[in-house]
Structure 1
Amino acid sequence: MRSLRVLRWLPFVVMFGVALTDVLAGRSLVFLPLLTLGPAFASVSGGVRRTAMVGAVALAICVPMAAHNDLLFTWENNLTVVSIAGVTAASMLAARLRLQRERELASVRQVAEAAQRVLLRPVPRRAGDLRVALSYTSAAAEAQIGGDLYEIVTTPHGVRLLIGDVQGKGLAAVETAAWVLGAFREAAYDQADLADIGERLEVSLARHLGPEQFVTAIIAEVGDEELTLVNFGHPPPLLVLAGGEPRTVDPPEGGLPLGLGAFGPGSAKAHRVPFHGGDRILFVTDGVIEARNTSGDFYPLTERAGLLTRDDPQEALDALRADLVSHAGGPLPDDAAMLLLHRPTGAHRGTGATESGRVHQPG
């Protein structure tokens, strides 16, 4: 907003500076042709009418200054007047084209954001014996629409979830996210093993993605006292034990992202980690761990794990999000999705019940 105000006042500051310089320089030097900078700068941030107004102000300054320099009605001054009028007309055209492009871009962005809202359905606050929290922080307004995706479903095989990040930006990334989510929602109910879900996603994406496109993702299933995960080149989740001790859950073997399976020796392997009452696990996209501060330091997620120990998971995740934005010093350069699962102490799995409820999505 501050830069926008500066741009709006810049044409007038420039024209005032030109007039002042012309007066101080005396009649030997004439700076009036530089008044054309006013409407030129106005077209950068203003509309057509504002640009025309700035051009009129430039002409209003030019005439008395020309009289002051005894140049009124001379060919030099007439040329200056024609130049101001010509630059003003060209700047008005440029302002109109800029506004048209901005409206088209805004329309495309609204379509993409609407598509993302349809794809990324609100997750339930409860799934089985778990409490669930979600935070999705949109990137800065000037950044392109991203391809972060997430889903959590209660199936006959247990609670299963997906979190991922599509390579690239824009509508193409949103389209790819739709393919991944659609394949996961179907396979999560049909396949007994997580590895089979991954193969279904790989086959589906093979028909859709280009040769150098990919999707990083984690598929997880919640068991009685453990979590089963398959990591496809995605940032590892952060497990916070009941006592508050954090540790990252790295896979024993690195798996390639979805879409690149043909370039590896085999598919990603499932691995299990204990997940007892009181434990929490945080799944994130790379927009979280790659957020930098003004010094260029990445966000220290593990060091901030204490924020996740609050009683209410959503309050804990909101506190982490606020700390993330504070670390970045402003809007994030990339979308950042965070999905937090909490197994309350003494909770018993097996009901399979899901309590619907919209999860607050900041940004």
Structure 2
Amino acid sequence: MDCGPRLPAPSTPAALALAARCRSAAGPDRPGGDLYDVLLTPNGPRLIIGDVKGHGPAAAPLAATVLDAARPTATTEPDPARLATTLDARLRPHLDAEDFVTLLVADFHPHEVRLANCGHPPPLHITRRRLDPLTPRHPSPPLGLDPAPRVQRIRLLPDQRLLLYTDGLTEARAADGTFFPLDSRARAALLAPTLDQALDTLLDLHHQHTRHTPAAADDLTLLLAQPTSPDRPY
């Protein structure tokens, strides 16, 4: 799958395994409105995923602007919620009245992940028995609409996974209009032996769901993470 604009990412930190897939609505080798980055902060690995209003090439410049605005403090700001509000302030001069950006920051610490969610689809906590959307108790608007995120702390063990995604996953429709379901088949896919196999199997399900509808009209990004060494300092 082709990727939209993002900063050059360092190698995934040794304490976090990661697989990524992304697709632009405009097709291969054309940027879209989804964005993500993989960073290493003094406190551990950090993932950023976002989705600007619109899709395809028309949305790509704003997606690139978001990542450029994040660059000065994304590796040094310890608080993911404060990073989101700082980024909102930096973006305001670049946003038109109707522009907005959904954003999720995920910081990985030993035994837990800390989330700051600004209007983004809730990540999925994947265990052998459950597939739980981590909906924030205090929802925040997206960037550009006065976000006020609060840090959400979730226990995450090495036999568990976390899926970050954009709404191109869950808003994909079948021919009868039903949305792509996050059901037992999706959970089984996400528990495949490797992270890459998990995402490929999930995408196969996604394709089966939409195969009788017109070509996907939205960008899609998937990040699947799993801690590997929870007892070792990052």
Q: Does 1:223 align with 2:109?
A: yes
Higher RCO (C-alpha under 8 Å, 6+ residues apart): 2
What pairs with 1:215-294 in structure 2 (closer than 5 Å)? 215-241=101-127, 243-261=128-146, 267-294=148-175
Report the 3-state secondary structure (helix = DSSP H, G, I; strand = E; otherwise coil) of the residue aligned with 2:72.
helix
- The 8 Å contact of residues 183 and 200 in structure 1, kept in 2 or not, is answered as no
Cα offset, 1:311, TM superposition: 1.8
1:181 and 1:145 map into 2 onto residues whose CA distance is 14
The two structures have a TM-score, normalised by structure 2, of 0.89
Identity across aligned pairs (percent)? 35
Cα offset, 1:246, TM superposition: 1.1
Q: 1:342 aligns with which of 223, 226, 231?
A: 226
1:323 and 1:122 map into 2 onto residues whose CA distance is 28
- The 8 Å contact of residues 194 and 221 in structure 1, kept in 2 or not, is answered as yes
**Counterparts in 2 of 1:343 and 1:244: CA distance versus 1, 3 Å:** farther
Q: Does 1:314 align with 2:199?
A: no
Higher strand fraction (1 or 2): 2
RMSD of aligned C-alpha atoms?
A: 2.3
Aligned letter for 2:217? P
Cα offset, 1:171, TM superposition: 4.4
> What does the per-residue CA deviation read over 1:315-362, in whole Å, with 9 as the maximum and x for residues that have no partner?
111111111111111632211100000124x65342x4xxxxxxxxxx
* Number of equivalences: 229
Give the aligned partner of residue 326 of structure 1.
Answer: 208
The two structures have a TM-score, normalised by structure 1, of 0.59
- The 8 Å contact of residues 238 and 302 in structure 1, kept in 2 or not, is answered as no
- The 8 Å contact of residues 56 and 219 in structure 2, kept in 1 or not, is answered as no
2:172 and 2:165 map into 1 onto residues whose CA distance is 12
Give the aligned partner of residue 53 of structure 2.
Answer: 167
Cα offset, 1:146, TM superposition: 2.8
Give the aligned partner of residue 129 of structure 1.
Answer: 15
Cα offset, 1:140, TM superposition: 5.8
- The 8 Å contact of residues 43 and 109 in structure 2, kept in 1 or not, is answered as no
**Counterparts in 2 of 1:183 and 1:349: CA distance versus 1, 3 Å:** farther
Q: Does 1:300 align with 2:181?
A: yes
Report the 3-state secondary structure (helix = DSSP H, G, I; strand = E; otherwise coil) of the residue aligned with 2:149.
coil
Report the 3-state secondary structure (helix = DSSP H, G, I; strand = E; otherwise coil) of the residue aligned with 2:154.
strand
Structure with the greater alpha carbon radius of gyration: 1
- The 8 Å contact of residues 129 and 348 in structure 1, kept in 2 or not, is answered as no
- The 8 Å contact of residues 56 and 218 in structure 2, kept in 1 or not, is answered as no
Give the aligned partner of residue 69 of structure 1.
Answer: none
Higher helix fraction (1 or 2): 1
1:152 and 1:267 map into 2 onto residues whose CA distance is 23
Give the aligned partner of residue 43 of structure 2.
Answer: 157
